[in-house]
Amino acid sequence: MKTYILRRILIVIPLLLVISMLSFFIMQLSPGNYLDQMRMNPDISRELIESMEEDFGLNEGIMTQYFAWLGQTLQGNLGESFSYRVPVTQIIGSRLFNTLILSLSAMVFAWVIAIPIAIYSATHRYNILDNLFSVLAFIGLSIPNFFFALLLLFLIVRYNIPLPVSGMTSVMHDFMTPREQILDILRHLIVPTIVLGSAGTATIMRQMRGQMLDVINSDYIRTARAKGLKESTVINKHAFRNAINPMITMFGLQLSSLFSGAALTEIVTGWPGLGNLMLTAVRSKDLYLAMAGLMMGSLMLVIGNLIADLLLAVNDPRIHYN
If you average pLDDT over each of 3-7, 117-121, 259-263, which comes out highest?
A: 117-121
Q: Is the pLDDT of residue 43 over 70?
A: yes
- pLDDT class of 189 with cuts at 50, 70, 90: very high
Q: What is the mean pLDDT of residues 87-96?
A: 90
Residue 261: the pLDDT is 59
Chain segment 232-275, per-residue pLDDT in tens: 888 988 889 888 888 988 888 887 777 665 777 888 888 898 88
Mean pLDDT for the stretch of residues 99-115: 92
pLDDT tens-digit profile of 266-309?
888 888 988 888 888 888 888 899 999 889 888 888 888 888 88
pLDDT (tens digit per residue) in 59-86? 888 889 899 999 999 888 888 888 888 9
Task: Give 182: exposed, middle or buried? Use CB within 10 Å, 0-12, 13-18, 19+.
Answer: exposed
Whole-model pTM? 0.84
For 266-298, b where at least 16 C-beta lie within 10 A, e where not — what string?
bbbbbbbbbbbbbbebbebbbbbbbbbbbbbbb
